[in-house]
Amino acid sequence: EDQVTQSPEALRLQEGESSSLNCSYTVSGLRGLFWYRQDPGKGPEFLFTLYSAGEEKEKERLKATLTKKESFLHITAPKPEDSATYLCAVQARGAGNTPLVFGKGTRLSVIA
Amino acid sequence: DTGVSQNPRHKITKRGQNVTFRCDPISEHNRLYWYRQTLGQGPEFLTYFQNEAQLEKSRLLSDRFSAERPKGSFSTLEIQRTEQGDSAMYLCASSLKSGNTIYFGEGSWLTVV
């Protein structure tokens, strides 16, 4: 069974204090690994898709990396507006379109 | 903005009543998904459509749940005889057949009292 484990569950940072969120996964052949941002009471907002080990993607203060067993979301010099829950999901290879399997997320709080 | 649209955004209903949620996907997206999310958890897959065909259903989708996408455009998710355990946010998402990125709507909150 495909599984995603995110750590830590919650993270509190001072503004400007860089850190990383972890997403460990087991999947029967990875089609893609996805990162989403979710604000309270709203739907997940797409950030990145990673397809193969060694791939990296960046967007503003966020950088996502991928290995064969885990992905990291690095946050450089975060600002209070980066406070949100960050969700990781995997999609397995399959004959059709396999559904995303999500982790429980990391709740990030950035304090000014 | 032509993102995924869901309504109603919030619904409070008494146990035993039926509720229906509607989802309008991004235009030209032929894949449509329903997920459910409870507090402190990630979204869980319920079902998905390619055009009007319902191609996969999770075991989470009990007989009280039914989803349709009659013309391959908007979709409805109906929950019959609601139970308190059905209280959750119901998320709709869509994607292009040829693409991998799945875009979510803002969700429909259901509270069963």
Q: What is the DSSP string of B75-99?
A: EEEEE-S--GGG-EEEEEEEE-TT-
User: Tokens for A89?
Assistant: 């999901």
Q: Cβ of B102 and A46 within 8 Å?
A: yes
Chain position carrying tokens 């379109």: A97
What is the pLDDT at residue B74? 96
pLDDT of residue A13 exceeding 60: yes
Please report which confidence band the pLDDT of residue A95 belongs to, taking 50, 70 and 90 as the band edges.
low
Residue pLDDT, tens place only, B71-93:
889 999 999 999 999 999 999 99
- DSSP single-letter state for residue B84: G
Residues B111 and B12 sit within 8 Å (Cβ to Cβ):
yes
How do residues A23-42 score in pLDDT, each as one tens digit? 999 998 899 999 999 999 99
Beta-carbon separation of A44 and B43 below 8 A: yes
- Chain B hits for A21, CB-CB cut-off 8 Å, are none
Question: What is the Cα–Cα distance from A82 to A74, expressed in whole angstroms?
Answer: 12
Q: DSSP assignment, residue B72?
A: S
Average pLDDT taken over every residue of chain B:
93
For residue B92, which amino acid is it? C
